[in-house]
Structures are given as C-alpha cells and as structure tokens.
Chain A
Amino acid sequence: MSLRIVVCVKYVPDATGDRHFAEDLTVDRDDVDGLLSELDEYAVEQALQIADEADDAEITVLTVGPEDAKDALRKALSMGADKAIHVEDDDLHGTDALGTSLVLAAAIEKAGFDLVVCGMASTDGSMGVLPAMLAERLGVPQATLLSEVSVADGKVTGRRDGDAASEQLEAALPAVISVTDQSGEARYPSFKGIMAAKKKPVESWDLEELEIEADAVGLEGAWTKVDEAAERPARTKGTIVEDEGEGGKQLAAFLAERKFI
C-alpha cells in the first residue's frame, strides 16, 4: 500500500515586504506579494525525504487560500510533490485558525492520508497551533516541532527539541507531524522540476464539496475578532557613535544612565 502523505502549505505575504491590514482588519493579501511560507518548504522537504525512503509513496500538497495561493502549490510541486489540492471559496475570507483547521481537516479526510506534514508555524500569523488542532480534529497522534524525523514500519519517530529537554517521540500512523527549520535545508526546484510541475494535477475544492457551511468559516464565522490594529510608532532615533577607542566606555555610560549598571 502506498504511503499517502498530505503536506499543508500556506501562501503568505512576503515578510521582507510591507505587510499590512485591510480595512476589515484581516491580513491584506491582495496588494502584497505572496509566496509559499518559507517554513512550509521544510515540510515539503521532509515529505520528499520520507517518500524517498518509502517503497511507494504519494505526496499531495494542500492549501486553503485565495486564488494566488496556487503559486505556493506550484512551488511545492516543482520541488517534487505529486499533486495538489487548492481549497478556495469566497466565503473563506477572514477565516481564523479554528476555521482553517476545520477546512483543512475536512480536506485531508476527503483526500485520504497516512501522514500529514505541516510547517512549525506560518510566517504571517505565526501561531503554530494548526498542527495540534488538526490532530485533535482528525483523532490521530500528533508528533510536532520535530527537528529530525523518519517513518518506518507504520510508525513515525522524531526528535523534539523543547525548552527544558530534547525528546525522542514515537507514534503510529496515521499521524500529524510538524517540522522545524532545524530539520534540514529545503531543496531548490530544478529546471526539470519546474517544467514537470506544470503538468501535475491541481484540484480545486470549495466549501460545498467539503460539506462545510459558509457560516462556520470566514470573518462572520470567526471566533475571535480584531477590534484595533495600529502601526507601532517608529522607535525614536537613538544615539549612534563611532568607536574611536572609547566606544565600550561610552556604551557603559549610557547603560549606567539607564540604571542597568
């Protein structure tokens, strides 16, 4: 039996560009350049390595997002994933983490899976909660924040480097995992990969196909509300001195003035 891997990838505004809020206080995804979240590249990479080790595996990349999110899927396909699913629906605008996890879980079940691979966090929302929510909804084990992972004999094992300890984890498939940026550099798509990606299948699903009511998602269905978003006042420009032999002492004087010494 083929190992069915679903990789969840997110299309996010470029972090090095100007990110802002739209009028309805959702993240503005229209006027900004977007890309496959860099942290999800690590998820695609680990999925590819796991698939290489398996006798037979198929990688599906899955995203929930606007029209442009197809770019993220193409990138993942050009890295080597086999096919893609794009969940797209006008009613999804403004969906929060709980809503997104509902939609992703429904899509993952519909697609069929043995292993779900996520990134450690999205680079825009940066909540790092989706993988745990997916495991809860799908009723399967979660092995998250892995910096090392392997799959064999129907089990996933990996290392989770926590604050207080480094843990070795083990769970039976099917399972949800997330991988960190310590898991190993993601490959660049090759020219051949980019060409091949153009022919790979991308399915589009809407809420109806997932049997999810429109009012369960979107801005109206969100269980959290942003009331205010204010640009942080620019830090007032500080003092900058050139070191001419006394830089360390000058700095010490500043720290003393601020009562740090």
Chain B
Amino acid sequence: MAEVLVYVDHVDGAVRKPTLELLTLARRIGEPVAVHLGAGADTAAPVLAEHGAVKVLTADAPEFAEYLVVPKVDAVAAAYKAVSPVAVLFPSSAEGKEIAARLAVRIGSGIITDAIDLEAGDEGPVATQSVFAAAFTTKSRVTTGTPVITVKPNSAAVEAAPAAGAVEQLEVSFGEQATGTKVVSRTPRESTGRPELTEAAIVVSGGRGINGAENFPVIEALADSLGGAVGASRAAVDAGWYPHTNQVGQTGKSVSPQLYIAAGISGAIQHRAGMQTSKTIVAINKDEEAPIFELVDYGVVGDLFDVVPQLTEEVKARKG
C-alpha cells in the first residue's frame, strides 16, 4: 500500500495532538510513515505506532535545535527520497508550514496549506480549506508532484489504530544552507497548566471589554471551570493585558474548538478569521449591535462583569 509521510510535531518526544490527528487523516490516503526529528524518539515511537504509524523514521542531530528550519527540510527531503510517498503531511504550525514550503520547492511539488479536512480522491488527496475569514469552503488538489499538505489543528479526531511503528534511523546529510540561520538563544514559554490554545476543546476569550490586565482573571476563572484555554483579541493583546501567544485571529492563532466563548469582543473580520469554524459559539457583549452576535449560537447582551462571574459560579455549582 502507498505510504504517506507524516511530520511529527513534538516537544522532546511528547507528541502534540495535531500530529495524532494527522495520522488519522493519513490513514485515509495510505499507510502513515512518521518522521521524528530531534530528541525523544523512544518516547514518541510507541505513541505514533498506537495511532497508526507503520514506520517511524528518526534522526537526531544538534543542528535541528541550533539552526532554523532548514536542517529539518534536509531531513524530511531525505525521508521523502527513502520512502517515495504519495503525500507529505505537516501540522499547520509556523514551522510546519515553512518546512513544507521549502520541501515543495525542493521536490518540485504543489503545496496546499491550512487544510481542515482531507480525503482520498481519484486524482490524489482532496483537501478542504476554509478561506476569506471562513466565508468560503474550497476543495483543492495538488496536480503536479507529490502533494505537500499542511493541516490545521482540530481537523480530525484522534483515533487509536495500532500498527507496527518500527523505528528506523534516517540518514541525513545537511546541505550548505542548513546552518544559515543560527538560533542564538531560546526562552521556552512558561506553562500555564491550561490546555494548548489551538488544541483545546473549549476556548474562552476576552477583548477590549475586559478593560485591563487586572480583570483577565475573570476570563481565566471561567476557562478553568470549564477546563478550557484562554484567548484574547488583538485589542487586548496590543493593550498589553494578555500575551500575544494567546491572540486569536488572523495574525494570532486560528482555533476550531467545540465551544468558543467571546467576552467583550466585537467580532471584527480579523478576529473571526481565527475562530469562525468553532462548532458552538457564545458571546457576551453589552452592545447588542456587536457583529459577533451574527455568529453566535447563544448570546447574552449584558455587562461581562455581571454575566461571566455568574456563569462561572453556575458551572462550578453544576459540576458539583
């Protein structure tokens, strides 16, 4: 059966959820072969096998951490040569997209980014995308070369599908460009203990209506009561009330949770671009004319400082 390369996004071997979703999608097209670069292959391999990887190709070298992107392109290109896959899939992270972009140029293949679904088709994989701030849904194919496709988080269910997952060393020789951009230092993000924004099933976001960093705990308390992640509009981020890593929207994260709660957010097109594909949308805003209400399944016109704490209390009470 045809093989599909799946690029593994991980932190020291802890496989991130979007990669497991990719394995689900890869199985619709062929047999997934995972490519794991950097440390932690021993930890990752059993997890990848459990979710359908027939093979795990691994390579570890200091270059992967010390230089930006290109060493990983060299490695994925080596995997591509070794396997001759029918498609190469990446998670739509900043890095995933850049590796995919360079690989596409290198192997002479078309590329599709930010797919939200993937199916097998008569003429190769068919990718569904959501474009123009989610106003349109398109179906596209790569017509030249081996399809290189990046897929957004939360595009498929994580499914167990045990496979062999045999670990094989990947021979990589780095090209001249590999050491072009040095990573001089790296400051890891502090963990908040909350779910990852792009992976969370529930996201609670605050906007300009929060009116100050000191009020964000109101949003955090609701998120914690629901076991969700915290998001913010760009207005809240630009004001310095919440970190940019939590920004939802065109120039922030794109999220697609089961439930999205927007409090004190007007719903500008650039914000919608990052949350419009959420399954259920709820908003709290004191302006009944706010465009966010055009999207909601349930909306409350009111002061968030009354509504959100009451909601949090009620959630806690109901959960007991």
Nearest A residue to B252, CB-CB: A181
**Which of A19, A124, A251 lies in contact with B282, CB distance below 8 A?**
A251
Given contacts A98-B110, A139-B177, A243-B306, contact A133 B140 (CB under 8 A): no
Please, how many angstroms separate the alpha-carbon atoms of A212 and B73 in the complex?
Answer: 26
Contact of B105 among A19, A136, A164 (CB under 8 A): A136
Contact flags (1/0) for A117-156 with B, using CB distance below 8 Å? 0001101101111101101110111111101000000000
* Interface presence of A225 (CB below 8 A): yes
Q: Is A224 an interface residue (CB 8 A)?
A: yes
Say yes or no: B306 contacts A144, CB within 8 Å.
Answer: no
> Does chain A have a CB within 8 A of B173?
no
Contact with B along A158-194 (1 / 0, CB 8 A): 0011111111111110010000111000000000000
0/1 interface trace, chain A 209-231, chain B, CB 8 Å (1 if under): 00000000000001111111111
Partner of B182, one of A135, A171, A222, A245: A171
State the CA gap A261–B311 with chains docked (Å): 11
A199 at the B interface (CB under 8 A): no
Residues A252 and B314 in contact in the complex (CB < 8 Å), given A161-B244, A223-B110: yes
Q: Report the separation of the CA atoms of residues A72 and B97 in the bound assembly, to the nearest whole angstrom.
A: 26
> Any chain B CB within 8 A of the CB of A247?
yes
Asked whether A239 is an interface residue with its Cβ less than 8 Å from the other chain, the reply is: yes
Query: Which residues of B, 212-227, contact A by the 8 Å Cβ criterion?
Result: 226
Q: Name which residue of chain A comes closest to B188, CB basis.
A: A165
- Complex CA distance for A50 and B219, rounded to whole angstroms: 39
**A224-B226 contact given A165-B187, A248-B306, A248-B311, CB 8 Å threshold:** no
Quick check: B182 and A225 within 8 Å, CB to CB?
A: no
Q: Which residues of B contact A25 (CB under 8 A)?
A: 138
Q: Is A2 an interface residue (CB 8 A)?
A: no
Is A242 a contact of B302 with CB atoms below 8 Å?
yes
Q: How many residues of B contact A (CB 8 A)?
A: 91
Could you tell me the distance between the alpha carbons of A144 and B115 in the complex, rounded to whole angstroms? Answer: 22
Cβ contacts under 8 Å, B296 to chain A: 235, 238, 240
| Segment from B27-35, B47-55, B79-87, B141-149 that makes contact with A | B141-149
Q: Is the CB of B143 within 8 A of A225?
A: yes
CB distance from B78 to the nearest CB of A (A): 16
Instruction: Check A142 against B70 for contact (C-beta < 8 Å).
Output: yes
- Bound-state CA distance A21–B296 (Å) is 26
Q: Is the CB of A127 within 8 A of B136?
A: no
Cβ–Cβ < 8 Å partners of A82 in chain B: none
B101 & A132 in contact (Cβ 8 Å cutoff): yes
- Residue A250 interfacial (CB < 8 Å): yes
Given A169-B182, A231-B135, residue A243 in contact with residue B302 (CB < 8 A): yes
A60 located at the interface, meaning its Cβ lies under 8 Å from any Cβ of chain B in the complex: no
Interface string of A22-52 (1 = CB under 8 A from B): 0001000000000000010000000000000
Residue of B nearest to A156 (CB): B181
Give the CA-CA distance A128 to B98 in the complex, in Å.
8
Given A232-B130, A260-B226, A261-B315: A132 and B301 interface contact (C-beta under 8 Å): no
**C-alpha gap A133/B93 in the complex (Å):** 16
Which chain B residues lie closer than 8 Å to A132 at the CB level?
A: 69, 97-99, 101-102
Q: Is A258 an interface residue (CB 8 A)?
A: yes
When distances are taken between beta carbons in the complex, the residues of chain A under 8 Å from B288 are 240, 242
> Are A243 and B307 in touch, CB under 8 angstroms?
yes
Q: Residue A63 at the B interface, CB < 8 A? A: no
Residues 55-72 of B at the A interface (beta carbon under 8 Å):
68-70
Chain B residues with Cβ below 8 Å from A144 are 68-69, 98
If A168-B183, A227-B140 touch, does A127 touch B311 (CB 8 Å cutoff)? no
Evaluate contact between A248 and B184: CB separation under 8 angstroms.
Answer: no
Q: Are B144 and A223 in touch, CB under 8 angstroms?
A: yes
Asked whether, in the complex, the Cβ of B186 is within 8 Å of the Cβ of A223, the reply is no
With A225-B141, A247-B284 known to touch, is A16 a contact of B181 (CB < 8 Å)?
Answer: no
The CA-CA distance from A137 to B104 in the complex, in Å, is 11
CB distance from A89 to the nearest CB of B (A): 21
12 A-B pairs, CB-CB below 8 angstroms? A133-B105, A141-B180, A163-B93, A170-B181, A223-B109, A223-B145, A227-B141, A232-B130, A242-B300, A249-B310, A255-B226, A258-B259
Q: Which 8 A-B pairs have the closest CB atoms?
A: A243-B302, A248-B310, A223-B110, A141-B180, A252-B314, A129-B101, A223-B144, A248-B311
